[in-house]
A and B are shown apart, each in its own frame.
Chain A
Amino acid sequence: MNAILIATLVIAAVGAAAALALAIADKYLSVKEDPRIGLVTAALPGANCGGCGFAGCDGYARALVAGNAANGACAPGGPAVAAEIAKILGVEATATERRVALVKCCGTRSEALRVGDYNGICDCASAAATAGGDKGCRYGCLGYGACANVCPKHAIRVEDGLAIVDKRLCIGCGKCVSACPRRLIELVPASATIHVLCANPLKGPEVTKVCGVGCIGCHLCEKNSGGKEANHFTFDGFLAKVNYSNPPEDVTVVAKCPRKCIREDAHFETGA
Protein backbone atom coordinates (compact mmCIF):
# COMPACT_ATOMS: atom_id res chain seq x y z
CA MET A 1 0.00 0.00 0.00
CA ASN A 2 2.75 2.31 1.03
CA ALA A 3 4.71 1.63 -2.16
CA ILE A 4 1.74 2.45 -4.41
CA LEU A 5 1.16 5.66 -2.49
CA ILE A 6 4.77 6.75 -2.76
CA ALA A 7 4.84 5.90 -6.48
CA THR A 8 1.67 7.89 -7.13
CA LEU A 9 2.94 10.85 -5.14
CA VAL A 10 6.30 10.87 -6.87
CA ILE A 11 4.76 10.77 -10.35
CA ALA A 12 2.27 13.43 -9.33
CA ALA A 13 5.10 15.60 -8.07
CA VAL A 14 7.12 15.19 -11.26
CA GLY A 15 4.02 16.00 -13.26
CA ALA A 16 3.27 19.07 -11.20
CA ALA A 17 6.83 20.34 -11.54
CA ALA A 18 6.70 19.88 -15.31
CA ALA A 19 3.33 21.61 -15.49
CA LEU A 20 4.63 24.55 -13.50
CA ALA A 21 7.65 24.89 -15.77
CA LEU A 22 5.40 24.81 -18.81
CA ALA A 23 3.01 27.35 -17.37
CA ILE A 24 5.89 29.75 -16.72
CA ALA A 25 7.22 29.16 -20.24
CA ASP A 26 3.81 29.75 -21.74
CA LYS A 27 3.47 33.02 -19.87
CA TYR A 28 6.80 34.48 -20.89
CA LEU A 29 7.65 32.81 -24.19
CA SER A 30 4.41 32.23 -26.04
CA VAL A 31 3.59 34.04 -29.27
CA LYS A 32 0.19 35.67 -29.30
CA GLU A 33 -1.73 34.69 -32.40
CA ASP A 34 -5.00 36.16 -33.51
CA PRO A 35 -7.68 33.49 -32.84
CA ARG A 36 -9.56 34.60 -35.96
CA ILE A 37 -6.84 33.03 -38.14
CA GLY A 38 -7.85 29.60 -36.91
CA LEU A 39 -11.55 30.34 -37.46
CA VAL A 40 -11.04 31.61 -40.99
CA THR A 41 -8.80 28.66 -41.86
CA ALA A 42 -11.52 26.30 -40.67
CA ALA A 43 -14.13 28.13 -42.76
CA LEU A 44 -12.05 27.89 -45.96
CA PRO A 45 -12.48 24.72 -48.06
CA GLY A 46 -8.93 23.50 -47.36
CA ALA A 47 -8.22 22.61 -51.00
CA ASN A 48 -4.93 24.56 -50.86
CA CYS A 49 -5.32 25.18 -54.60
CA GLY A 50 -3.59 28.56 -54.54
CA GLY A 51 -6.30 30.13 -56.68
CA CYS A 52 -6.61 33.06 -54.26
CA GLY A 53 -2.98 33.89 -54.92
CA PHE A 54 -1.66 32.72 -51.54
CA ALA A 55 0.35 29.64 -50.68
CA GLY A 56 -2.52 27.76 -49.10
CA CYS A 57 -5.74 28.25 -47.16
CA ASP A 58 -3.71 29.12 -44.06
CA GLY A 59 -1.79 31.78 -45.99
CA TYR A 60 -5.00 33.34 -47.26
CA ALA A 61 -6.50 33.25 -43.74
CA ARG A 62 -3.51 35.12 -42.31
CA ALA A 63 -3.64 37.69 -45.07
CA LEU A 64 -7.38 38.20 -44.57
CA VAL A 65 -7.02 38.75 -40.83
CA ALA A 66 -4.05 41.05 -41.35
CA GLY A 67 -6.09 43.03 -43.87
CA ASN A 68 -3.75 42.26 -46.77
CA ALA A 69 -6.30 40.42 -48.86
CA ALA A 70 -9.80 41.00 -50.16
CA ASN A 71 -12.61 38.68 -49.21
CA GLY A 72 -14.16 36.68 -52.02
CA ALA A 73 -10.92 35.59 -53.68
CA CYS A 74 -11.64 31.98 -52.79
CA ALA A 75 -13.28 30.53 -55.90
CA PRO A 76 -13.85 26.97 -54.60
CA GLY A 77 -15.43 28.38 -51.45
CA GLY A 78 -17.69 30.63 -53.42
CA PRO A 79 -20.21 33.05 -51.95
CA ALA A 80 -21.08 30.77 -49.00
CA VAL A 81 -17.55 30.76 -47.62
CA ALA A 82 -17.12 34.45 -48.37
CA ALA A 83 -20.21 35.22 -46.31
CA GLU A 84 -18.93 33.12 -43.39
CA ILE A 85 -15.53 34.80 -43.48
CA ALA A 86 -17.23 38.18 -43.57
CA LYS A 87 -19.11 37.20 -40.41
CA ILE A 88 -15.90 36.13 -38.63
CA LEU A 89 -14.07 39.28 -39.61
CA GLY A 90 -17.11 41.43 -38.94
CA VAL A 91 -17.28 43.01 -42.42
CA GLU A 92 -19.80 43.25 -45.24
CA ALA A 93 -20.03 40.30 -47.62
CA THR A 94 -20.05 40.88 -51.39
CA ALA A 95 -21.88 38.47 -53.67
CA THR A 96 -19.82 36.62 -56.29
CA GLU A 97 -21.04 34.23 -58.92
CA ARG A 98 -19.42 30.88 -59.61
CA ARG A 99 -17.06 31.08 -62.55
CA VAL A 100 -15.57 28.28 -64.62
CA ALA A 101 -12.75 28.10 -67.14
CA LEU A 102 -13.39 28.02 -70.87
CA VAL A 103 -10.85 27.21 -73.60
CA LYS A 104 -11.76 29.54 -76.45
CA CYS A 105 -10.80 27.27 -79.31
CA CYS A 106 -12.44 24.38 -81.12
CA GLY A 107 -9.69 23.70 -83.66
CA THR A 108 -8.91 20.02 -83.19
CA ARG A 109 -6.14 18.27 -85.11
CA SER A 110 -8.64 17.21 -87.72
CA GLU A 111 -10.00 20.72 -88.26
CA ALA A 112 -7.00 22.99 -87.84
CA LEU A 113 -3.93 23.16 -90.05
CA ARG A 114 -0.60 21.96 -88.64
CA VAL A 115 2.44 23.55 -90.24
CA GLY A 116 5.06 21.12 -89.02
CA ASP A 117 5.93 18.17 -86.81
CA TYR A 118 6.74 19.37 -83.32
CA ASN A 119 9.27 17.00 -81.80
CA GLY A 120 10.06 18.55 -78.46
CA ILE A 121 8.83 18.34 -74.89
CA CYS A 122 5.11 17.87 -74.52
CA ASP A 123 4.34 21.35 -73.21
CA CYS A 124 2.41 24.25 -74.73
CA ALA A 125 4.80 27.05 -73.76
CA SER A 126 7.73 25.14 -75.30
CA ALA A 127 5.76 24.49 -78.47
CA ALA A 128 4.75 28.15 -78.69
CA ALA A 129 8.40 29.17 -78.30
CA THR A 130 9.45 26.88 -81.17
CA ALA A 131 8.81 28.70 -84.47
CA GLY A 132 5.60 30.11 -82.98
CA GLY A 133 4.01 26.69 -82.51
CA ASP A 134 3.12 23.88 -84.91
CA LYS A 135 -0.42 25.14 -85.46
CA GLY A 136 -1.15 27.34 -88.46
CA CYS A 137 -3.38 29.56 -86.33
CA ARG A 138 -1.20 31.68 -84.04
CA TYR A 139 -4.10 32.18 -81.63
CA GLY A 140 -5.37 28.65 -81.21
CA CYS A 141 -4.95 25.85 -78.70
CA LEU A 142 -1.73 23.86 -79.15
CA GLY A 143 -3.07 20.83 -77.33
CA TYR A 144 0.01 19.77 -75.34
CA GLY A 145 -1.81 19.95 -72.04
CA ALA A 146 -0.10 22.67 -69.99
CA CYS A 147 -3.53 23.60 -68.63
CA ALA A 148 -4.50 19.99 -67.94
CA ASN A 149 -1.27 19.38 -66.00
CA VAL A 150 -1.76 22.34 -63.69
CA CYS A 151 -5.46 21.82 -62.95
CA PRO A 152 -5.80 20.76 -59.28
CA LYS A 153 -9.13 19.04 -59.97
CA HIS A 154 -8.16 17.27 -63.23
CA ALA A 155 -11.04 19.06 -64.90
CA ILE A 156 -9.26 19.51 -68.24
CA ARG A 157 -8.72 16.79 -70.81
CA VAL A 158 -6.98 17.01 -74.17
CA GLU A 159 -8.84 15.35 -77.06
CA ASP A 160 -7.55 15.33 -80.62
CA GLY A 161 -5.13 18.15 -79.89
CA LEU A 162 -7.65 20.39 -78.15
CA ALA A 163 -8.06 21.14 -74.44
CA ILE A 164 -11.62 20.90 -73.07
CA VAL A 165 -12.72 21.93 -69.56
CA ASP A 166 -15.32 19.86 -67.72
CA LYS A 167 -17.49 22.55 -66.14
CA ARG A 168 -18.78 20.20 -63.45
CA LEU A 169 -15.31 19.68 -61.96
CA CYS A 170 -13.89 23.17 -62.47
CA ILE A 171 -13.53 25.25 -59.29
CA GLY A 172 -12.54 28.45 -61.08
CA CYS A 173 -9.13 28.81 -59.43
CA GLY A 174 -7.63 30.29 -62.61
CA LYS A 175 -4.39 28.27 -62.69
CA CYS A 176 -5.07 27.19 -66.28
CA VAL A 177 -5.54 30.83 -67.32
CA SER A 178 -1.95 31.66 -66.42
CA ALA A 179 -0.60 28.36 -67.73
CA CYS A 180 -1.86 28.89 -71.28
CA PRO A 181 0.88 30.61 -73.37
CA ARG A 182 -1.74 31.88 -75.81
CA ARG A 183 -3.99 33.41 -73.13
CA LEU A 184 -6.78 31.36 -74.59
CA ILE A 185 -8.58 30.40 -71.40
CA GLU A 186 -11.12 32.73 -69.84
CA LEU A 187 -13.12 32.46 -66.63
CA VAL A 188 -16.79 32.79 -67.55
CA PRO A 189 -19.96 32.66 -65.42
CA ALA A 190 -21.00 29.08 -64.78
CA SER A 191 -24.59 29.91 -65.72
CA ALA A 192 -23.70 30.79 -69.34
CA THR A 193 -24.19 27.87 -71.74
CA ILE A 194 -23.48 29.33 -75.18
CA HIS A 195 -19.88 30.20 -76.07
CA VAL A 196 -17.84 31.33 -79.09
CA LEU A 197 -14.88 28.96 -79.24
CA CYS A 198 -12.40 30.99 -81.22
CA ALA A 199 -9.77 33.62 -80.44
CA ASN A 200 -8.51 34.50 -83.91
CA PRO A 201 -9.34 38.15 -84.72
CA LEU A 202 -7.96 38.05 -88.27
CA LYS A 203 -9.98 38.52 -91.47
CA GLY A 204 -12.10 35.65 -92.81
CA PRO A 205 -9.78 34.49 -95.62
CA GLU A 206 -6.79 34.49 -93.21
CA VAL A 207 -8.72 32.30 -90.78
CA THR A 208 -10.07 29.83 -93.33
CA LYS A 209 -6.49 29.31 -94.57
CA VAL A 210 -5.49 27.86 -91.21
CA CYS A 211 -8.64 26.45 -89.64
CA GLY A 212 -11.86 24.79 -90.74
CA VAL A 213 -13.86 26.02 -87.73
CA GLY A 214 -12.43 29.45 -86.96
CA CYS A 215 -14.64 32.52 -86.59
CA ILE A 216 -14.70 34.67 -89.71
CA GLY A 217 -16.65 37.58 -88.24
CA CYS A 218 -19.71 37.19 -90.45
CA HIS A 219 -22.01 38.65 -87.73
CA LEU A 220 -24.68 35.98 -88.35
CA CYS A 221 -24.76 35.13 -84.64
CA GLU A 222 -25.55 38.75 -83.85
CA LYS A 223 -28.28 38.84 -86.48
CA ASN A 224 -29.85 35.59 -85.24
CA SER A 225 -29.99 36.65 -81.62
CA GLY A 226 -31.83 39.90 -81.98
CA GLY A 227 -29.28 42.09 -83.73
CA LYS A 228 -27.00 44.74 -82.36
CA GLU A 229 -29.62 46.14 -79.99
CA ALA A 230 -29.94 42.83 -78.16
CA ASN A 231 -26.22 43.15 -77.36
CA HIS A 232 -25.62 39.42 -76.88
CA PHE A 233 -22.41 39.49 -78.93
CA THR A 234 -19.52 41.95 -79.20
CA PHE A 235 -16.85 42.00 -81.90
CA ASP A 236 -13.08 42.32 -81.59
CA GLY A 237 -11.78 42.77 -85.12
CA PHE A 238 -13.30 39.84 -87.03
CA LEU A 239 -13.91 37.79 -83.90
CA ALA A 240 -17.29 37.37 -82.23
CA LYS A 241 -17.42 37.30 -78.43
CA VAL A 242 -20.31 36.42 -76.16
CA ASN A 243 -21.31 39.30 -73.89
CA TYR A 244 -21.35 37.41 -70.57
CA SER A 245 -23.20 40.12 -68.69
CA ASN A 246 -26.05 39.58 -71.18
CA PRO A 247 -25.53 36.13 -72.70
CA PRO A 248 -27.73 34.72 -75.48
CA GLU A 249 -30.32 32.18 -74.38
CA ASP A 250 -31.67 30.91 -77.67
CA VAL A 251 -29.70 27.82 -78.74
CA THR A 252 -30.62 28.21 -82.42
CA VAL A 253 -27.71 30.61 -82.73
CA VAL A 254 -25.48 27.55 -82.31
CA ALA A 255 -26.91 25.79 -85.37
CA LYS A 256 -26.98 29.00 -87.41
CA CYS A 257 -23.22 29.60 -87.14
CA PRO A 258 -21.76 28.71 -90.59
CA ARG A 259 -18.37 27.85 -89.11
CA LYS A 260 -19.68 25.76 -86.21
CA CYS A 261 -17.51 27.61 -83.72
CA ILE A 262 -20.39 28.55 -81.40
CA ARG A 263 -21.04 25.62 -79.08
CA GLU A 264 -23.34 24.71 -76.28
CA ASP A 265 -22.17 23.48 -72.88
CA ALA A 266 -23.24 19.88 -73.46
CA HIS A 267 -20.26 19.63 -75.79
CA PHE A 268 -17.79 20.04 -72.95
CA GLU A 269 -19.21 17.53 -70.55
CA THR A 270 -19.84 14.54 -72.76
CA GLY A 271 -17.15 15.26 -75.31
CA ALA A 272 -19.78 15.03 -78.06
Chain B
Amino acid sequence: MRYLVIIVGAVLVNNFVLNRFLGCCPFLGVSKKTETALGMSGAVVFVMTMASAVTWCLDRFLLAPLGLGYIHTLAFILVIASLVQFIDIAMKRFMPPLHAALGIFLPLITTNCAVLGVAELNTKNGTPFFESVLFSFAAALGFGFALVLFSGIREKLAHADPPRCFRGVAIALVTAGLLSLAFMGFSGLVKTPY
Protein backbone atom coordinates (compact mmCIF):
# COMPACT_ATOMS: atom_id res chain seq x y z
CA MET B 1 0.00 0.00 0.00
CA ARG B 2 2.82 2.35 0.94
CA TYR B 3 4.48 1.59 -2.37
CA LEU B 4 1.32 2.45 -4.29
CA VAL B 5 1.13 5.76 -2.46
CA ILE B 6 4.76 6.46 -3.37
CA ILE B 7 4.09 5.73 -7.04
CA VAL B 8 0.92 7.83 -7.24
CA GLY B 9 2.66 10.56 -5.34
CA ALA B 10 5.64 10.70 -7.65
CA VAL B 11 3.67 10.40 -10.89
CA LEU B 12 0.69 12.65 -10.24
CA VAL B 13 0.74 14.60 -7.00
CA ASN B 14 4.36 15.74 -7.05
CA ASN B 15 5.14 15.26 -10.73
CA PHE B 16 8.82 16.00 -11.19
CA VAL B 17 8.50 18.26 -14.16
CA LEU B 18 5.06 19.80 -13.68
CA ASN B 19 5.10 20.29 -9.90
CA ARG B 20 8.72 20.28 -8.85
CA PHE B 21 9.85 21.98 -12.11
CA LEU B 22 12.86 19.72 -12.45
CA GLY B 23 14.03 18.54 -15.87
CA CYS B 24 12.35 21.29 -17.90
CA CYS B 25 15.07 21.41 -20.51
CA PRO B 26 14.58 17.96 -22.03
CA PHE B 27 10.86 18.38 -21.39
CA LEU B 28 10.71 21.28 -23.81
CA GLY B 29 13.42 20.04 -26.10
CA VAL B 30 12.29 16.50 -26.89
CA SER B 31 8.53 16.92 -26.78
CA LYS B 32 7.97 17.91 -30.41
CA LYS B 33 7.08 14.44 -31.58
CA THR B 34 5.51 11.63 -29.61
CA GLU B 35 7.92 8.97 -30.91
CA THR B 36 10.98 10.86 -29.68
CA ALA B 37 9.16 11.69 -26.44
CA LEU B 38 8.56 7.99 -25.82
CA GLY B 39 12.17 7.19 -26.59
CA MET B 40 13.38 9.91 -24.27
CA SER B 41 11.06 8.72 -21.51
CA GLY B 42 12.52 5.24 -21.80
CA ALA B 43 16.02 6.64 -21.58
CA VAL B 44 15.15 8.74 -18.53
CA VAL B 45 13.50 5.80 -16.74
CA PHE B 46 16.60 3.74 -17.29
CA VAL B 47 19.03 6.48 -16.24
CA MET B 48 17.07 7.59 -13.19
CA THR B 49 16.56 4.09 -11.84
CA MET B 50 20.14 3.02 -12.42
CA ALA B 51 21.52 6.30 -11.17
CA SER B 52 19.53 6.18 -7.95
CA ALA B 53 20.53 2.57 -7.34
CA VAL B 54 24.22 3.28 -7.86
CA THR B 55 24.20 6.54 -5.90
CA TRP B 56 22.32 4.95 -3.00
CA CYS B 57 24.95 2.22 -2.80
CA LEU B 58 27.74 4.77 -3.15
CA ASP B 59 26.31 6.87 -0.36
CA ARG B 60 25.59 3.95 1.99
CA PHE B 61 28.74 1.92 1.48
CA LEU B 62 31.41 4.49 0.65
CA LEU B 63 30.53 8.01 1.66
CA ALA B 64 28.59 7.50 4.88
CA PRO B 65 31.09 5.14 6.58
CA LEU B 66 33.91 7.55 5.78
CA GLY B 67 31.90 10.48 7.07
CA LEU B 68 31.90 12.08 3.60
CA GLY B 69 28.15 12.64 3.44
CA TYR B 70 28.71 16.35 2.72
CA ILE B 71 30.40 15.58 -0.62
CA HIS B 72 27.58 13.47 -2.00
CA THR B 73 26.54 16.07 -4.66
CA LEU B 74 29.97 15.95 -6.29
CA ALA B 75 30.15 12.18 -6.19
CA PHE B 76 26.63 11.80 -7.55
CA ILE B 77 27.32 14.15 -10.47
CA LEU B 78 30.41 12.13 -11.34
CA VAL B 79 28.50 8.87 -11.32
CA ILE B 80 25.51 10.20 -13.22
CA ALA B 81 27.66 11.83 -15.89
CA SER B 82 29.62 8.62 -16.52
CA LEU B 83 26.45 6.56 -16.54
CA VAL B 84 24.83 8.78 -19.17
CA GLN B 85 28.00 8.75 -21.24
CA PHE B 86 27.92 4.97 -21.11
CA ILE B 87 24.29 4.94 -22.22
CA ASP B 88 25.18 7.33 -25.06
CA ILE B 89 27.83 4.94 -26.36
CA ALA B 90 25.59 1.89 -25.95
CA MET B 91 22.61 3.57 -27.68
CA LYS B 92 24.74 4.70 -30.60
CA ARG B 93 25.81 1.11 -31.04
CA PHE B 94 22.54 -0.70 -30.46
CA MET B 95 19.80 1.82 -31.29
CA PRO B 96 21.23 4.27 -33.88
CA PRO B 97 17.90 5.77 -35.08
CA LEU B 98 16.81 6.65 -31.56
CA HIS B 99 20.28 8.01 -30.88
CA ALA B 100 20.08 10.20 -33.97
CA ALA B 101 16.59 11.38 -33.02
CA LEU B 102 17.54 12.32 -29.45
CA GLY B 103 20.71 13.99 -30.64
CA ILE B 104 21.98 16.59 -28.21
CA PHE B 105 19.46 15.72 -25.56
CA LEU B 106 21.03 12.46 -24.50
CA PRO B 107 24.07 14.00 -22.84
CA LEU B 108 21.68 16.72 -21.64
CA ILE B 109 20.24 14.24 -19.18
CA THR B 110 23.60 14.53 -17.40
CA THR B 111 23.00 18.11 -16.39
CA ASN B 112 19.38 17.29 -15.89
CA CYS B 113 18.40 18.46 -12.47
CA ALA B 114 15.72 15.78 -12.31
CA VAL B 115 18.23 12.93 -12.21
CA LEU B 116 20.41 14.63 -9.62
CA GLY B 117 17.31 15.79 -7.80
CA VAL B 118 15.94 12.31 -7.31
CA ALA B 119 19.31 11.08 -6.07
CA GLU B 120 19.48 13.97 -3.60
CA LEU B 121 15.91 13.41 -2.46
CA ASN B 122 16.67 9.78 -1.73
CA THR B 123 19.63 10.81 0.38
CA LYS B 124 17.59 13.40 2.21
CA ASN B 125 14.73 11.02 2.93
CA GLY B 126 17.08 8.26 4.05
CA THR B 127 14.81 5.53 2.66
CA PRO B 128 15.87 1.91 2.29
CA PHE B 129 17.22 0.65 -1.07
CA PHE B 130 14.07 -0.76 -2.59
CA GLU B 131 11.96 2.24 -1.66
CA SER B 132 14.58 4.65 -3.06
CA VAL B 133 14.75 2.82 -6.36
CA LEU B 134 10.96 2.59 -6.53
CA PHE B 135 10.65 6.30 -5.87
CA SER B 136 13.13 7.07 -8.67
CA PHE B 137 11.38 4.71 -11.03
CA ALA B 138 8.03 6.34 -10.28
CA ALA B 139 9.56 9.79 -10.65
CA ALA B 140 10.88 8.82 -14.07
CA LEU B 141 7.49 7.41 -15.01
CA GLY B 142 5.92 10.69 -14.00
CA PHE B 143 8.47 12.56 -16.13
CA GLY B 144 7.71 10.33 -19.08
CA PHE B 145 3.98 10.69 -18.55
CA ALA B 146 4.18 14.47 -18.59
CA LEU B 147 6.52 14.37 -21.58
CA VAL B 148 4.25 12.17 -23.69
CA LEU B 149 1.17 14.21 -22.74
CA PHE B 150 2.95 17.37 -23.73
CA SER B 151 4.22 15.94 -26.99
CA GLY B 152 0.66 15.06 -28.00
CA ILE B 153 -0.42 18.64 -27.39
CA ARG B 154 2.61 20.00 -29.21
CA GLU B 155 1.97 17.89 -32.28
CA LYS B 156 -1.44 19.51 -32.55
CA LEU B 157 0.01 22.93 -31.78
CA ALA B 158 2.38 22.51 -34.72
CA HIS B 159 -0.62 22.66 -37.05
CA ALA B 160 -2.21 25.61 -35.31
CA ASP B 161 -1.79 29.23 -36.29
CA PRO B 162 -0.91 31.31 -33.21
CA PRO B 163 0.08 34.99 -33.50
CA ARG B 164 3.64 35.46 -34.69
CA CYS B 165 5.00 36.46 -31.29
CA PHE B 166 3.78 33.16 -29.82
CA ARG B 167 5.12 30.80 -32.46
CA GLY B 168 7.46 28.02 -31.47
CA VAL B 169 8.73 27.79 -27.89
CA ALA B 170 6.59 30.66 -26.58
CA ILE B 171 3.25 28.90 -27.04
CA ALA B 172 4.84 25.69 -25.80
CA LEU B 173 5.85 27.35 -22.54
CA VAL B 174 2.39 28.82 -22.08
CA THR B 175 0.93 25.35 -22.65
CA ALA B 176 3.38 23.82 -20.19
CA GLY B 177 2.22 26.33 -17.61
CA LEU B 178 -1.40 25.43 -18.25
CA LEU B 179 -0.57 21.73 -17.98
CA SER B 180 1.17 22.41 -14.70
CA LEU B 181 -1.93 24.22 -13.46
CA ALA B 182 -4.00 21.22 -14.44
CA PHE B 183 -1.74 18.88 -12.49
CA MET B 184 -2.23 21.04 -9.42
CA GLY B 185 -5.65 19.46 -9.35
CA PHE B 186 -4.03 16.29 -8.07
CA SER B 187 -2.71 17.91 -4.91
CA GLY B 188 -4.09 16.29 -1.80
CA LEU B 189 -4.97 13.11 -3.71
CA VAL B 190 -2.69 11.03 -1.50
CA LYS B 191 -0.69 11.89 1.56
CA THR B 192 2.84 11.18 0.50
CA PRO B 193 5.34 10.11 3.16
CA TYR B 194 7.73 12.69 1.71
> What is A's interface to B at a CB cutoff of 8 Å?
3, 6-7, 10-11, 14-15, 18-19, 21-22, 25-26, 29-31
Contact = CB atoms under 8 A, between A and B. Distances in A.
Contacts of A11: 71, 74-75, 78
A217 B66 CA distance: 95
Contacts of A19: 82
A14 B89 contact: no
Interface string B8-48: 00000000000000000000000000000000000000000
B164 interface: no
Contact of B62 (A10, A18, A22, A26): A10
Contact of A14 (B58, B67, B90, B96): B58
Contacts of A26: 89
A30 B89 CA distance: 6
Contacts of B66: 6, 10
Contacts of A22: 82, 85-86, 89
Contact of B68 (A6, A18, A21, A25): A6
B62 A15 contact: no
B82 A31 contact: no
Interface in B54-103: 58, 62-63, 66-68, 71, 74-75, 78-79, 81-82, 85-86, 89-90, 92-93, 96
B96 A21 contact: no
Contacts of B92: 30-31
Nearest to B100: A58
A10 B82 contact: no
A30 B85 CA distance: 11
Nearest to B58: A14
Contacts of A25: 86, 89-90
19 contacts: A3-B67, A6-B68, A7-B68, A10-B66, A10-B68, A10-B71, A10-B75, A11-B71, A11-B74, A11-B78, A14-B78, A22-B82, A22-B86, A25-B86, A25-B90, A29-B90, A29-B93, A31-B92, A31-B96
Interface in B95-139: 96
A6 B66 CA distance: 8
Nearest to A17: B82
Contacts of A14: 58, 62, 75, 78-79
A21 B93 contact: no
A21 B81 CA distance: 12
A29 B62 contact: no
Given A6-B66, A7-B68, A21-B82, A29 B89 contact: yes
Q: 5 shortest A-B CB distances, which residue pairs?
A: A18-B82, A29-B93, A29-B89, A25-B89, A31-B92
Contacts of B71: 7, 10-11
A6 B70 CA distance: 13
A25 B92 CA distance: 12
Q: In this complex, which of A6, A11, A14 has the most chain B Cβ atoms within 10 angstroms of its Cβ?
A: A14
B93 A31 contact: yes
A35 B67 CA distance: 47
A254 to B, nearest CB: 39
Nearest to B76: A14
B167 to A, nearest CB: 15
Contacts of A29: 89-90, 93
B89 A18 contact: no
B78 A18 contact: yes
A26 B96 CA distance: 16
B123 to A, nearest CB: 16
Contacts of A3: 67
A11 B79 CA distance: 10
A243 B157 CA distance: 48
A10 to B, nearest CB: 6
B20 to A, nearest CB: 27
Contacts of B62: 10, 14
B93 A30 contact: yes
A22 B79 CA distance: 11
Nearest to B67: A3
A198 B154 CA distance: 44
Nearest to A33: B92
A7 B72 CA distance: 10
Contacts of B74: 11
A200 B126 CA distance: 82
